[in-house]
Structure 1
Amino acid sequence: MRRHTLKRLSLCAAIGALAITAFAAAPSRAAEDAVIIPPPAVDAQASNGIQTAVIAGGCFWGVQGVFQHTAGVVNAVSGYAGGSKTTADYNMVSTGATGHAESVEIKYDPKKISYGKILQIFFSVAHDPTQLNRQGPDSGTQYRSAIFTANDEQKKVADAYIAQLNAAKVYRKPIVTKVGPLDAFYPAEAYHQDYLTLHPTQPYIAYNDIPKVEALKKIFAENYIEKPTLVSNAKVTN
């Protein structure tokens, strides 16, 4: 079952009242699904200048929303990674045949947040890393869990952290997140950017993604910021 795309918002509206009622009855559903996990034993060294992390964990709306509320993140952009430039298009990616995953490019200040902390939030509240080629109601390889590494240090941290969490058995099932090199990241269409903030009452967002931000606020209070860092307002220098 694919998530409600923009082409299907009329269907979404038709079931909107039911979805919002369900959300109101269980507003902490995703927060309950979030897992409190230990920080990484191996982390990247702090460095000067803005750094980049690219991750994929289901629908990019929710992942982007979580990191837009994370202190130290100067920009979080929804987009595509894992495929070619010619197929970095929402309609094509949605077929599941392009190799792309819906991804988020995170620009962050390593003096304020580490790469390891970003992965801790990613594994804890942003998605479920034990689901293979799906997240919640969304299925297909475009919704896979993945970390696209920019350098050897990121790969070392990601591999070590996955091994650490699996050894600690913090999840009931093994982590299926794939770690591989980032070839390129392609920003998604403008209507996908800042989607959680712009459409907080859209049923998919209200039921699946707002609770992720609530879980961030609860579990990572020291890393949470109330005002999101939006793509429309971001000023990033490398």
Structure 2
Amino acid sequence: MTRRPLSRFPIYAAAIGLLAISAINLTPSLAAEEAVTIPPPAVDVQNASGIQTAVLAGGCFWGVQGVFQHTKGVVNAVSGYSGGIKANADYHLVSTGTTGHAESVEIKYDPKKISYGKILQIFFSVVHDPTQLNRQGPDTGTQYRSAIFTTSDEQKKVADAYIAQLNSAGVYKKPIVTKVGPLQAFFAAEGYHQDYLTLHPSQPYIAYNDIPKVENLKKLFAEDYSEKPALVSDIKVTN
């Protein structure tokens, strides 16, 4: 199924119309998916140097990108597609749920300022609900699945260990369904999808589903929150 903007639903539209006017001031309690306070990973990537890459899928990429653009240590976060082939890396095709792609975000980060483990902690805590299979909030389909596309054996070790740690600790009511596998390719999404949260903060879908995620980042990870987002506006994005 494709994304279902709240504006298409009369009840939601009426309820959210007033909220959209002051979207930036929405409280975390209005989030479609609530944040969860979780422990940091016991295992993390060690001795990384230079700009590193993490690729994560956790529902609509607008919110995932928006959260990490407000995360200190992240130098770039691009919305795109992973899991399928280049020929199918097109929004309208991906939205059918038949391409194998998941809406994903490629995160470039400085390991001297933020670790891979911290990125995963934010991912599992405020970005999405990792216990939902092939859906997040109002969006359903395999293109909205929870996935970690690793770029090294060490990343896979950290991701697998963290999922086992969180399941063992029972921080969620249900088991984590996040799939961990090697990154085959990442394809940047169309330009109009980039920086979407920043450019459209009052759009009902963003106001209800995604602005609260950024507010949760600010609340639960205050030391990692950056008021100024790392935008991709000046970077050429191709399909």
Query: TM-score scaled to structure 1, two decimals?
Result: 0.91
Q: Which residue of 2 aligns with 1:18?
A: 15
Change (3 A) 1:2 1:22: farther
Counterpart in the other structure of 1:121:
122
Structure 2 counterpart of 1:154, one-letter code: Q
* 119 and 34 in structure 1: CA distance in 2 versus 1, 3 angstrom threshold: same
2:57 alignment partner in structure 1: 56
Shift of 1:48: 1.7
Give the TM-score of the pair, scaled to structure 2: 0.91
Is 1:77–2:89 an aligned residue pair? no
| Counterpart residue number, 1:198 | 199
Structure 2, gaps ≥5 residues long? none
Match of 2:149, SS?
A: strand
Q: 1:33 offset after TM fit, Å?
A: 1.0
Give 3-state SS (helix, strand or coil) of 1:179's partner. strand
Alpha-carbon distance in structure 1 between the residues aligned to 2:4 and 2:158: 34
Partner of 1:171: 172
1:32–1:88 distance in 2 versus 1, CA, 3 Å: closer
Distance 2:161 2:49 in 1: 23
The Cα of 1:19 is off from its aligned counterpart by 1.9
Unaligned segments of structure 1, at least 5 residues: none
1:31/1:215 contact within 8 Å kept: no
- Aligned 8 A contact 1:46 1:111 in 2: no
C-alpha distance in structure 2 between counterparts of 1:163 and 1:21, whole Å: 42
C-alpha separation between the residues in 1 aligned to 2:67 and 2:32? 12
Q: Call closer, same or farther: CA 1:15–1:57 in 2, change over 3 Å.
A: same
Q: Secondary structure at the match of 1:208?
A: helix
Contact kept in structure 2, 1:42 and 1:161, CA below 8 Å = yes
What letter matches 1:216 in structure 2? Answer: L
The answer to whether the 8 Å contact 2:35/2:126 transfers is: yes
CA contact (8 A) 2:3 2:95 kept: no
Q: CA RMSD in A?
A: 2.3
SS at match of 1:171: coil
| Contact map agreement 2:55 2:150 (CA 8 A) in 1 | yes
Q: Secondary structure at the match of 2:31?
A: helix
1:102-181 correspondence to structure 2 within 5 Å: 102-181=103-182
Inter-CA distance 102–59: structure 2 relative to 1 (3 Å threshold): same
**Whole-Å separation in 2 of the counterparts to 1:3 and 1:112:** 34
State the secondary structure of the residue aligned to 1:92.
helix
Q: Corresponding residue for 2:27?
A: 27
> In 2, Cα distance between the equivalents of 1:217 and 1:233?
25
